[in-house]
Chains A and B, each alone.
Chain A
Amino acid sequence: MPHRVIISVCLLLALMACGLGGCASSPARYRPPWTGNPIADGLHAVTNAPAKDRVLWQMITAKSALFQKKYDLAKNLLDDALLSIENRYGKDKEARKSRKLFQDESDKFFLGEPYERVMAYYYRGILYWMEGQPDNARACFRSAQLQDSDSENNDYRNDYVLMDYLDGLASLKLRASADSNYMRATNVARIAIPPPYQPADNVLVFADYGKGPTKYASGAYGEQLRFKEGRSSALEIKITSGNALLHLGPYDDLSFQANTRGGRVMDHVLANQAVFKSTTDAAGDVALMSGMVLAHGRNTQEVGLGLVAAGLVSKMFSAAATPDADTRDWDNLPQYLTFGTLSLPPGNHVMTLEYLDDSGSVIPSLTRTENIQVNPAPKDTVLYFSDTKD
């Protein structure tokens, strides 16, 4: 009889533990139906994915739209995403809930890590410049740099070379001074120092290449957010148009930027949750083991049963705690960002892009030709190239 009672209590609590544990786990991450068209899939996701993931899909789809030269679509998506990013101040019920013990971090609205927010502003800045609004482009580059201002280590704050460099070039185009911008850009340069400004150049070439960083969860319970380095087979881009030649090397590396952000407040929250999960799990094990032993004794049966129950409750709480780091990421970002300028007469031109590997050899599969139209003065012609197709 006592054995049957023990078994029924254990069964009951174990099932409750399973139930609680099951409810604590988040629903599977939304995946759009894959049609092979990244824009169609992305737009489907923007509409149908959970609201908390909307900004993520807007960012991913905007990048695809940029690659396909659907600039109006990219503009609309980025504007909407940036509105969410800019208005993130104040109380946020979902964000507050995501810090709770039994809630996933990924339950909060996705606004991206700083390097992702930087890229949203950066791309919007390019689009503003394309529209002939260098001052709004400059505003975006400034906001982009600002997103990188809360790195744990001072050395890595506001250290995007291109954001300062482009801020300065836009200022020069608007007949303002750019000395301090150029100085800051060269001071933070780690890969290459950008050339002095050529404000008379009328063709601005923005390019990015390689596969950017990806997020993964590390630690015993996946509570640590980590970034896997991106990769790029190309190290340099050679651009020719008639007699004009432009060599573009990387100025900013997104993997470096992702990895130098340092600790987040959320890391401490998740670390505490991991400690809770591990402690309650261990305590549950001890209580269960001891309880089972004691429950067999005629005089200690009640104490044993109590311990078994306490152990199961402890295991239940352990199972329900979700310290998993949020690994949703903008997965079509590039590894390297680069920029250069050319002077070309107004009219139609053919431009050839060759991507060179680290030995300086052309990677034939990436070579391509673009037909461009250079605007008459004073409007600059802004070009954007990427080797990321998805």
Chain B
Amino acid sequence: MMTRISFQTAAVLVLLVFISGCASGVRNPSGVPVTEMQADERGFVAGTGIESQDLVSVTDKMARSLVNTPEITDFPGTPRIALDPVINNTRFPIQQDIFLTRIRTLLNSRTRGKMRFLARERMDALRNERDMKRSGEFTSTSDPNIQEFKGADFFLTGKLDGQTTRTSAGTSDYVLYSFQLIDARTSEIIWEDFSELKKQGLEDASYR
């Protein structure tokens, strides 16, 4: 009788161990629900690279600085500005237009015509439209044979430089964001400003 009980107990215990063992196996990750965040907010997914909050803070600062430049405020008439793509001299690939696009939209929306930006990246479509008007295929409200594409008074451009330190513990990245407004006639840099950010990241020991 004792033997039967002990075997039954053993069997039940073994079953319990198996069941509990299997329950503690691989769990399906429940995931993280989509979280809406502000563009200038540091998210829970972060690296040491160039992120949206950097883009927002840098371009905000540049737009504020640029709009108060005497060469712009005292310019006779409305200055025409063309964008020249930012040069990326860091170790992070970037979308090259994004910095200047944000500066341009900030200035356009807040200064209301104090300066004009030239849509140089749309020139193919613009030339095509003009040619269609010249050929009479499209109607025109003005004489299409007159050259009306504006030349630039200034070029707005920038450069991102980086310096990286890496040890077995982690990585430190410094990025210098510098922007310039260049006089198209004289090549003088009439305005320049910068912003700098440093980030450090420590890797989990499992990846070192």
What count of chain B residues pass the 8 Å CB interface test? 43
Chain A residue total in the interface (Cβ 8 A): 50
A57 sits at the interface (CB 8 A): no
Query: Which residues of B sit under 8 angstroms from A16, Cβ to Cβ?
Result: 13-14, 17
Indicate whether A4 reaches chain B with its CB closer than 8 angstroms: yes
B14 touches A265 (CB 8 A): no
Task: Report B38-59 CB contacts with A as 1/0, cut-off 8 Å.
Answer: 0000000111110000000000
Residue of A nearest to B87 (CB): A135
* B88 touching A139, Cβ below 8 Å: yes
Could you tell me if B93 and A12 are in contact, using CB atoms closer than 8 angstroms?
no
B93, A124: Cβ atoms closer than 8 Å: yes
Whether A139 contacts B205 in the complex (CB less than 8 A), given A15-B14, A16-B17, comes out as no
Docked-complex contact B208 and A150, CB < 8 angstroms: yes
List residues of chain B with CB within 8 A of the CB of A91.
204
B91 on the interface (CB 8 Å rule)? yes
| Residue in A closest to B5 when the chains form the complex, CB atoms | A8
CB of B18 within 8 A of CB of A19, answer: yes
Cβ–Cβ contact B45 & A87, under 8 A: yes
Q: How far does the alpha carbon of A176 sit from the alpha carbon of B13 in the complex, in Å? A: 73
- Residues in chain A near residue B205, CB distance under 8 A: 95, 99, 265-266, 269
- Collect the chain B residues with CB atoms within 8 Å of residue A150's CB: 166-168, 208
Give the docked Cα–Cα distance between A95 and B208 (Å): 11
Contact with A along B2-32 (1 / 0, CB 8 A): 1100110010011001100110111001000
- Judged by a CB distance under 8 angstroms, whether B94 is at the interface is yes
A95–B202 Cα distance when bound, in Å, is: 13
| B99 CB → nearest A CB, Å | 13
Alpha-carbon gap, A146 to B170, bound state (A): 11
* A149, closest chain B residue (CB): B166
Whole-angstrom distance between the Cβ of B48 and the nearest chain A Cβ: 7
Shortest C-beta distance, B12 to chain A (Å), equals 10
Identify which of A20-28, A39-47, A340-348 touches chain B.
A20-28
Judging by beta carbons under 8 Å apart, are B168 and A139 in contact? no
- Give Cα distance in the complex from A345 to B14, angstroms: 77
Cross-chain contact B88 with A135 (CB below 8 angstroms): yes
- Nearest-neighbor residue (CB-CB) of A150 within chain B: B168
Q: Is B69 an interface residue (CB 8 A)?
A: no
Contact mask for chain A residues 137-154; partner B; CB cutoff 8 A; 1 contact, 0 none: 011101100100110000
| Known contacts A87-B47, A89-B47, A146-B171; A136 and B88 CB within 8 A of each other | yes
Q: How far is the CB of A304 from chain B (nearest CB, A)?
A: 17
Residues of A within 8 A of B88 (CB): 135-136, 138-139
A133 within 8 A of B: yes
Task: Chain A residues near B46: list those with CB within 8 A.
Answer: 87, 89-90
Tell whether, in the assembled complex, residue B96 and residue A135 are in contact, meaning their CB atoms are under 8 Å apart. yes
| Shortest beta-carbon distance from B163 to chain A in Å | 11
Identify the closest chain A residue to B91 (Cβ): A142
Residue of A nearest to B167 (CB): A150
| Cα(A139)–Cα(B47), bound, Å | 16
The answer to whether B22 and A23 touch across the interface, beta carbons within 8 angstroms, is yes
Chain A 264-308 interface 0/1 with B at a Cβ cutoff of 8 Å (1 = within): 111001000000000000000000000000000000000000000
Measured in the bound complex, the distance between the Cα atoms of B205 and A20 in whole Å is 27
Using A139-B93, A150-B168, A269-B205 as known contacts, list a sample of 14 further A-B pairs with CB atoms less than 8 Å apart, ordered by residue number in A: A4-B3, A8-B3, A8-B10, A23-B22, A86-B47, A86-B48, A87-B46, A87-B47, A91-B204, A98-B206, A99-B205, A124-B93, A138-B89, A140-B93
Can you list 25 residue pairs at the A/B interface with Cβ under 8 Å? A8-B7, A16-B13, A22-B21, A23-B24, A23-B25, A50-B26, A86-B48, A86-B49, A87-B45, A87-B46, A88-B203, A88-B207, A89-B170, A89-B201, A90-B46, A91-B204, A95-B204, A95-B206, A105-B206, A133-B93, A135-B89, A136-B93, A143-B92, A150-B166, A266-B208
